[in-house]
Chains A and B, each alone.
Chain A
Amino acid sequence: MSEMVISIADRFSKFPAGRYMADGPFNAERFRQEVLLPAIDDALTSGNQVVVKLDGVIGYSSSFLEEVFGGVVRARKQAGDKLKKALAIRADDVAYSAAKLDAERYFDDALSRN
């Protein structure tokens, strides 16, 4: 199994904020639709894993993290637990540990409601 690493700071923005498209240019819905879901779909097909790297962003709002990681579960309901293998969340810098825990919690909460 190979990994595809997506850095939010490098691939999207150092200043992500907002939940929906109407909220602002670097919103969660846009990241999920344009960056994350295409990679996830590829991973679900190939059996590879997408690793989302949180480092390098100025800070994360709870809405952004929930809409990205809870939203990916809601957008791919049919994938169910396969999403757990297809997606990993990484924070190399300890400063992002709390954001990583939040992101994982939103992902797991959405899976449990799925």
Chain B
Amino acid sequence: MAAEYDRIGRTRTLTPAAIDIEKWDSEVYRRLHQLGFFRLLGFNDQGLKAVLPDPESTSAEYLTPMFCGNDTDLTESGDVLLDLFVAVGGDAASRVQLLGAVADAIENVKGHAYEGMRHPGIPQLWWMSGSADPDTRKLTLSIYDQGVTIPVTLPNKWSKDVLTSVIRSFFDSGLAITDPRMDGYAVKAAMTVSKTSSGLEERGKGLAKIRDAVTDCAGGRLRVISRRGNYLFENGVETVECLPTPLHGTYIGIEATFSEGGGNE
């Protein structure tokens, strides 16, 4: 929602509005406040403090402000992401792996997410945020784009023969890979072909690298939502489903939980 408000603010002359903020759920309010949502509504630092109360919470979990970009520059967000690892006591090896996965995800957006998309109302951006809960030592990283989605770009990146054989390895539905009912499998196929693309020396390993990074974290969890596809990788198991309502873009959510010694649980 914050990303959509950001997009509206960037592409329209009107500042987007929100109503009845005092009636909002306090946890939703707190999270949006930390993300910087109310700045998107035109509040500056002074105005924010005067009009809206500081959010209250019983949880120690906090979110980073939402970062946004149109290239692979992680200079602004990098130190903030590092702070999240410090907050949860994350070990250096997991940090290098997971933040490498974030860089892969951002590169995917820059390289592929907006392929063929030319619309003045859609700036070709990514949005990113993260959260850390020092009590549970859980870390979450979220990356979102409003591109053409994985099920649409997949046939452009891989040959029909490759995709057909991958899909047949899941099951034989008779549906085309571009059919929205197949979106979950399209995301799963994207994971599979990027993992097995060693013959192509230069491209397409991003998604598999992200999953590998999550695999190396014992508490690791990866969710990818792209158009109607909802892909989840957890404890070595992949599940896919078709969502009733499509997401306009692709969301990647990475989770890890660390033990007291600094490593993964």
Set of chain B residues within 8 Å of A15, measured between Cβ atoms:
73-75, 78
B176 interfacial by beta-carbon distance below 8 Å: no
Count contacts on B: residues with CB < 8 A to the other chain: 31
Contact A93 B92 (CB under 8 A): yes
Count contacts on A: residues with CB < 8 A to the other chain: 34
A68→B167 CA distance, assembly (Å): 33
Interface centre among B91, B95, B202 (most CB of A within 10 A): B202
B177 interfacial by beta-carbon distance below 8 Å: no
A21-59 toward B: CB 8 Å interface, digit per residue (1/0)? Answer: 001111100000000000000000000000000000111
A-B pairs under 8 A by CB, number: 99
Interface residues, chain A, with chain B CB atoms under 8 Å away: 13-19, 23-27, 57-64, 66-67, 70, 93-99, 106, 109-110, 113
Given A18-B107, A93-B92, A95-B92, CB of A58 within 8 Å of CB of B71: no
Q: Smallest CB–CB gap between B180 and chain A, Å?
A: 29
B125 interfacial by beta-carbon distance below 8 Å: no
Contact B202 A17 (CB under 8 A): no
B206 interfacial by beta-carbon distance below 8 Å: yes
In the A-B complex, the 3 residue pairs with the closest CB atoms: A59-B99, A24-B72, A59-B100
Q: Smallest CB–CB gap between B95 and chain A, Å?
A: 7
B211 interfacial by beta-carbon distance below 8 Å: no
> What are 15 A-B contacts with C-beta separation under 8 Å?
A15-B75, A16-B103, A17-B103, A18-B110, A23-B71, A27-B72, A58-B99, A59-B95, A59-B97, A59-B99, A59-B101, A61-B103, A64-B103, A70-B202, A93-B92
